[in-house]
Structure 1
Amino acid sequence: MAEEEAPASPAQPRGEHARSWRLLTAAAFVVVLLVLAGTATLITARYADSFRSGQVHAIAPPPPLVTLEPAILPVSSAAPIPSRDEVAAALAPLLSDPALGSLAGQISDANTGTVLWTQDPASQRIPASSVKLLTAAAALLVIPHDSRAETLVVAGDEPGVAVLIGTGDVTLSGQPDGAATYYGGAARLDDLVAQLRDSDTEISRVLVDTDAYTGARLAPGWNGESVGEGYIAPMEPVMLDGGRIEPLEPESPRWEEPAIAAGRTLAERLGADPAEVGIGSASDDAPVLARVSSAPLRVRVEQAMQLSDNVLAEAIGREVAIAEGEPASFRGAARAVRSVLAEHGVAMDGVDLADTSGLSRDNALPVSVLDGLMVRAAADDDGPGEREEPTGSQQAGLLRPLLDLLPVAAGTGTLEDRFFDSAEAGAGWVRAKTGTLEGVSALTGYVVTQRGRVLTFAFISTDSNAFEARPALDALAAQLRTLPRAGE
């Protein structure tokens, strides 16, 4: 193949035109030299005079760099409290929105505990995922915040048999090293595999020990289709990526037998037959061959709140049950959560729990309980200001992280795509836990008013279209942000 020709050079001037070209070029060159020489003479003369007079001045140094000290400043307890009449007047135009259906709600001043507005606060309502607030609070109160759930592999009773033991880490990931995981900071199955290979233990069969949990795998009041729809997995103490078949998809269908699925994945990676995986109990004194740990409790609670993750909330509920000496079952977890909060001064009258995620339609509670919990969490270390029965500093310190773990309006978690349009005033200022079931929409959290007062709130809308009720609830919370000083 012929090579591509180089482009022709520009045509050169010839004859008289060439001589004229050379003269013009020379003249231009002389002009440039004269200009440069003149400039140099002026500069030299200027600085020669300065040197002779001794008045040469150094160039001033640049100003010092500005140092920024970012800080989150606390709100002032002296910020004005909106009056009850003012709150009622601000909400009145919004309460007529038919999208709210049947609304129950309560709003309080976080510092004093004073109730500023109520509507049907004592009636039992289906709370949906608002239940996760109760579960998270109970966990923060009775479990060390740096506590981790372990997954182990121990030697079986027969040669070549290994037993995978779960203690409740449902975030364990089957994703390979370096790949993203659904739950940040999750332990990996591959770490167990690496430890087993390093131990030079020959493994020909894998069993899975699920004895850490007892009772039914599905809670009363759960929709039987929720597993296939990706809202929940049958609760077992070991599973991969929350039981997801597609490990990075939030609403991926879940395995019907998540513990067996985890065991089969382990067997495959060890070169054992996945078809031979079954359920079996390990001996109490079985040698530990491999061990991994979950992220700390505080991280897992945040993930449950931000993602509204039902499986993770149920697992945390069972951790509360174990801490309280209850069975690690739906009933045991629900009973433990309720008793922990009651023991720590949260009014639990009218609270009926069938699970600890809020997925069950058998759950019921008054909104006053949710708002009261927010007030407790927001209490000052020395007690909530003017309330007659102050909360102890230890409790306040343990519960306060609950406020930081809530989604931010128009920013994070389940509120990332909410609080726009008519609710835009609340964007960035409202933090709240959402709740959605068919015919139910809930929102519980707190907001800082434009004058710097922290208000807590809890709203539950029933007999409504949940997706239409969401923006209506957002508008109520956002309206609290706009409240001016009482009397103005």
Structure 2
Amino acid sequence: MAKDEGDMVIQQLEQYLQNEPKLRGAIAGVSIRSRETGEILYEHLSDIRLRPASNLKLFTAAAALSILGEDYTFETDVLTDGDLEGEALKGNLYLRGKGDPTLLPEDLDMFAKTLREQGIRKIHGDLIGDDTWYDHIRYSVDLTWTDETFYYGAQVSALTVSPSEVYDTGTVLVTIKPGKIGEQPTLSLYPDTDYVKIVNQAVTVAAGSDAETDIEPERQHGGNTIYIKGTIPNNVSEEKIWVAVWEPTDYALALFKQSLEKHGIVLEGGVKAGKTPERARVLTNHTSIPLKQLLVPFMKLSNNGHGELLVKEMGKVIYGEGSWAKGLQVLVEELKKLGVDISTLVLRDGSGISHVNLIPAHEVSQLLFSVQSQSWFPAFLESLPIGGEKERMVGGTLRERMDGPELQGRIRAKTGTIETVSSLSGYLDTKSGQPLIFSIILNNLLDSDWGKMVEDEIVKILAEW
């Protein structure tokens, strides 16, 4: 492309960033590189440290692929320290988690079915949940109480269950269907468990031009009573919400005990947390999908729980300690190898939910350039949302954005949103075929949704390069 055409795009970008009303009083860090050479083509406050939101997941995913490998899997084991005498297992039954984010209620049912097929009808011992693969700190350091109810703020445990193949660990799925106008909607819970109590305080309202679904869950700190509040119009088919539980290890144990009962296995002892003895033998187990497949829901749907699990797993694998402290140490060490200037970063978690994380846009674009030379880069690229692609596991968080003919399918990028923050970083093929790398980090916004509009406009300008 002619140099003057590039200059025109740069001039247009400068004018937009200076004059856009949504950016008044905000900070915009922008870094544009050639995807082929890494040359910086344009920058605007690109060395200023900004809160990245979920753009931090780009760092976590790259480090995890490098440290763990794209074929890495997670295990959940069922073990015993006893022997089978007739139909009775004389000993304890252990459910040992090793960070598997893909364990589903159906897998617990399969565990119970397998135990019954092995001849077990009674357990003369306790059911013990072992989550000692990681430490017992459930929340990253800056997570606020206001986030605890929601799926994106779920507790992190090495023993955890997801209600669906989106793999939102440590959550239950509540489905809300409208009733008659003025009456409560119908609620259903999956998995069907008494580990949580649902209190229905929602109301069905008449459909209208201004009637929208406005359902909010609320779970008090330290408990598992979930209040469903708000309104749902009577013309809506259903609304699904994922709600985080208190103490995911106990949740997994409660579901497994329920599965044992369902398959006719009587537990004569209690249910508690503990550590599996070395002499215990494996009766059955579950292996997760490989990391390269797990990255799809992690990155395309921006799954916070996966980011925190991956950080703890890296700490466990490299330093024998599944903690945020050790995991973040590994993350920083690996980023340095990938060409990122770690001296300018502040990293507090693996998901980007913290408002204390700080990353310059320049270092994000640098990472996106350097990872292209890695053998695992195809898995990394595959995990990124694709603009305008409507399939959820293809377009991800970009499926309703950049869907015009000039942009659809031409951008692969990671989104990020927390209060007052929006970010978008990834790869773009311009109309002329020029491959670009870009990072846009917007802070101090009055409305985070404004950030998405600004990002989309910047990408439209870049597409003309």
Q: Could you say which TM-score interval applies, normalised by the shorter chain?
A: 0.7 to 0.9
| Aligned-residue identity in percent | 27
Larger Rg: 1 or 2? 1
Aligned match of 2:11: 89
Change beyond 3 A, Cα 1:274–1:410? farther
Alignment counterpart, residue 158 of structure 2, candidates 225, 233, 237 = 237
Aligned match of 1:165: 96
Q: What amino acid is the match of 2:14?
A: A
Instruction: State whether structure 2 residue 316 is matched by structure 1 residue 322.
Output: yes
Instruction: State whether structure 2 residue 267 is matched by structure 1 residue 267.
Output: no
Change beyond 3 A, Cα 1:443–1:156? same
1:65-104 map, 5 Å: 85-95=7-17, 96-100=19-23, 101-104=26-29
Larger strand fraction of residues:
2
Q: What amino acid is the match of 2:60?
A: T
Alignment counterpart, residue 123 of structure 2, candidates 203, 212, 219 = 203
* 3-state SS, counterpart of residue 138 of structure 1: helix
* 3-state SS, counterpart of residue 455 of structure 2: helix
* 3-state SS, counterpart of residue 253 of structure 1: strand
Instruction: State whether structure 2 residue 436 is matched by structure 1 residue 478.
Output: no
RMSD: 2.3
Q: How far has the Cα of 1:274 moved from its partner?
A: 11
Deviates more, 1:396-405 or 1:449-458: 396-405
Q: How far has the Cα of 1:192 moved from its partner?
A: 1.6
Instruction: State whether structure 2 residue 396 is matched by structure 1 residue 413.
Output: yes
Name the CA distance, whole Å, in 2 between partners of 1:110 and 1:132. 20
String of CA shifts for 1:51-75, please: whole Å, max 9, x gaps. xxxxxxxxxxxxxxxxxxxxxxxxx
String of CA shifts for 1:283-339, please: whole Å, max 9, x gaps. 122111111100011011122001100111211222222232252111121111111
Alignment counterpart, residue 421 of structure 2, candidates 423, 440, 444 = 440
Alignment counterpart, residue 401 of structure 1, candidates 373, 379, 385 = 379
String of CA shifts for 1:385-420, please: whole Å, max 9, x gaps. xxxxxxxxxxx2223431221000111101111125
Q: What amino acid is the match of 1:120?
A: L
1:37-76 map, 5 Å: none
Instruction: Tell me if structure 2 keeps the 8 A contact 1:448–1:454.
Output: yes
Change beyond 3 A, Cα 1:112–1:189? same
Where does structure 1 lack aligned partners over 5 or more consecutive residues? 1-78, 177-187, 380-395, 484-488
Instruction: Tell me if structure 1 keeps the 8 A contact 2:34–2:435.
Output: yes
Instruction: State whether structure 2 residue 246 is matched by structure 1 residue 256.
Output: yes
Name the CA distance, whole Å, in 2 between partners of 1:213 and 1:251. 28
1:80-229 map, 5 Å: 85-95=7-17, 96-100=19-23, 101-156=26-81, 159-174=90-105, 176=106, 188-201=107-120, 202-203=122-123, 205-229=126-150
Name the CA distance, whole Å, in 2 between partners of 1:215 and 1:260. 13
* 3-state SS, counterpart of residue 329 of structure 2: helix
Q: How far has the Cα of 1:230 moved from its partner?
A: 2.3
Name the CA distance, whole Å, in 1 between partners of 2:287 and 2:129. 17
Q: How many residues align?
A: 375
Name the CA distance, whole Å, in 2 between partners of 1:223 and 1:327. 25
Change beyond 3 A, Cα 1:216–1:83? farther
Instruction: Tell me if structure 1 keeps the 8 A contact 2:417–2:448.
Output: yes
Q: How far has the Cα of 1:250 moved from its partner?
A: 7.5
* 3-state SS, counterpart of residue 444 of structure 1: strand
* 3-state SS, counterpart of residue 302 of structure 1: helix
Aligned match of 1:456: 437
Change beyond 3 A, Cα 1:161–1:83? farther
Instruction: Tell me if structure 1 keeps the 8 A contact 2:75–2:286.
Output: yes
Structure 1's consecutive aligned runs of 4 or more residues displaced over 3 angstroms after TM superposition are 79-84, 247-251, 272-276
* 3-state SS, counterpart of residue 426 of structure 1: coil
Name the CA distance, whole Å, in 1 between partners of 2:335 and 2:61. 10
* 3-state SS, counterpart of residue 470 of structure 1: helix
Name the CA distance, whole Å, in 1 between partners of 2:5 and 2:271. 64
Q: What amino acid is the match of 1:408?
A: I
Where does structure 2 lack aligned partners over 5 or more consecutive residues? 83-88, 163-168, 174-189, 192-238, 390-394
Name the CA distance, whole Å, in 1 between partners of 2:74 and 2:396. 24
Q: How far has the Cα of 1:84 moved from its partner?
A: 5.7
Instruction: Tell me if structure 1 keeps the 8 A contact 2:316–2:323.
Output: no
* 3-state SS, counterpart of residue 455 of structure 1: strand
Instruction: Tell me if structure 2 keeps the 8 A contact 1:265–1:274.
Output: no
Name the CA distance, whole Å, in 2 between partners of 1:197 and 1:462. 56
Change beyond 3 A, Cα 1:82–1:144? farther
1:255-404 map, 5 Å: 255-271=245-261, 272=266, 276-325=270-319, 327-379=321-373, 396-404=374-382
Q: How far has the Cα of 1:227 moved from its partner?
A: 2.1
Instruction: Tell me if structure 2 keeps the 8 A contact 1:431–1:446.
Output: yes
Instruction: Tell me if structure 1 keeps the 8 A contact 2:311–2:328.
Output: yes
Q: What amino acid is the match of 1:284?
A: E
Name the CA distance, whole Å, in 2 between partners of 1:478 and 1:128. 22
Q: What amino acid is the match of 1:155?
A: T
Deviates more, 1:435-444 or 1:310-319: 310-319
Aligned match of 2:186: none
Larger helix fraction of residues:
1
Name the CA distance, whole Å, in 1 between partners of 2:116 and 2:321. 35
* 3-state SS, counterpart of residue 338 of structure 1: helix
Name the CA distance, whole Å, in 2 between partners of 1:82 and 1:302. 39
Instruction: State whether structure 2 residue 389 is matched by structure 1 residue 466.
Output: no
Q: What amino acid is the match of 1:159?
A: K
Change beyond 3 A, Cα 1:215–1:85? farther
Change beyond 3 A, Cα 1:326–1:163? closer
Q: How far has the Cα of 1:80 moved from its partner?
A: 7.3
